[in-house]
Amino acid sequence: MSDVARVVEGASAAVARQGWRSRLSDAGATHEPSRLCFGACEIDAATRCLKRNGEPVALEPRAFDVLIFLIDHRERVVSSDELLDALWGGVSVTSSSLSRAVHKARVAVGDDGQKQRIIATAQRHGFRFVAPVRCERREGSPSEASPGCPAGFKAFCDCP
C-alpha cells in the first residue's frame, strides 16, 4: 500500500470515528462504548473488530468505515454523496466504489440487498442503518449498574 493510500485510509477512519466522539462528549461520556451490538453482530470500537455470532468477520477498512458511518447517522437516510464526501474525503471515486463498500458491509453483517434488515437502501437517496443498536462496556469498565446502556450513552444507543 502506498503512503498516499495509507493517509487516505487513516483519514477516512478518523472521520468515521469522529461522530462517536462528538456524540459521546455531547452526552457527557468520556469513553467510547466498548461494543456496539445489533442483530447477531458486535463491533469492538477500540479494535475496529466486527464479530457475527461471536466469530470475527474480515471486513475491508473502507467497508468498515461505511458501516460505522451509517450506524452513527442511523436516525436518517445518508446520501451517497455524503458518504463519498465523508469517507473518501475529496478523492475522486465512482459510485461503484461506494456500492462495493456497502455490499461488503451488508455481507459482513449477514444482510443483503434483498432483505435489507440492517442496511436499507432508499432508492435514489442513499442508505440507512435500520437495526436497533445497543452499546456495552467490557467487564471491569466503569459504568453504573443498569440494564440497557451505560450512563452517558443514551444519546448514542437505542436502549430504553
Residue 59 and residue 5: Cα distance in Å, rounded? 17
User: What end-to-end distance do the CA atoms of the chain give, in Å?
Assistant: 44
- When comparing pLDDT for 102 and 24, which is higher? 102
Domain boundaries, the chain: 3-136
Check pLDDT > 90 for residue 131.
yes
- When comparing pLDDT for 56 and 46, which is higher? 56
pLDDT classification of 33: cutoffs 50, 70, 90: low
94 grid coordinates: 465512482
* CATH dotted code for 3-136: 1.10.10.10
Q: Closest Cα to residue 40, out of 104, 97, 112, 118?
A: 118
Confidence at residue 52, expressed as pLDDT on a 0 to 100 scale: 96
Q: Closest Cα to residue 71, out of 92, 47, 48?
A: 48
Going edge to edge, which strands form the sheet with 119-122? 78-79, 126-129, 119-122
Q: Are 74 and 83 in contact (CB under 8 A)?
A: no
158's CB contacts (< 8 A; 6+ apart) are: 132, 133, 134
Q: Give the model confidence (pLDDT) of 87-125 as tens digits.
A: 998 788 888 999 999 999 999 999 988 999 999 999 989
Q: Give the model confidence (pLDDT) of 66-90 as tens digits.
A: 999 999 999 999 999 999 999 998 7
21's CB contacts (< 8 A; 6+ apart) are: 32
What's at 67, amino acid-wise?
L
Helical H segments across the chain, by residue range = 3-26, 61-72, 80-88, 95-108
Confidence at residue 93, expressed as pLDDT on a 0 to 100 scale: 86
| pTM across the whole model | 0.69
Confidence at residue 28, expressed as pLDDT on a 0 to 100 scale: 38
Q: Closest Cα to residue 23, out of 98, 82, 75, 67?
A: 75
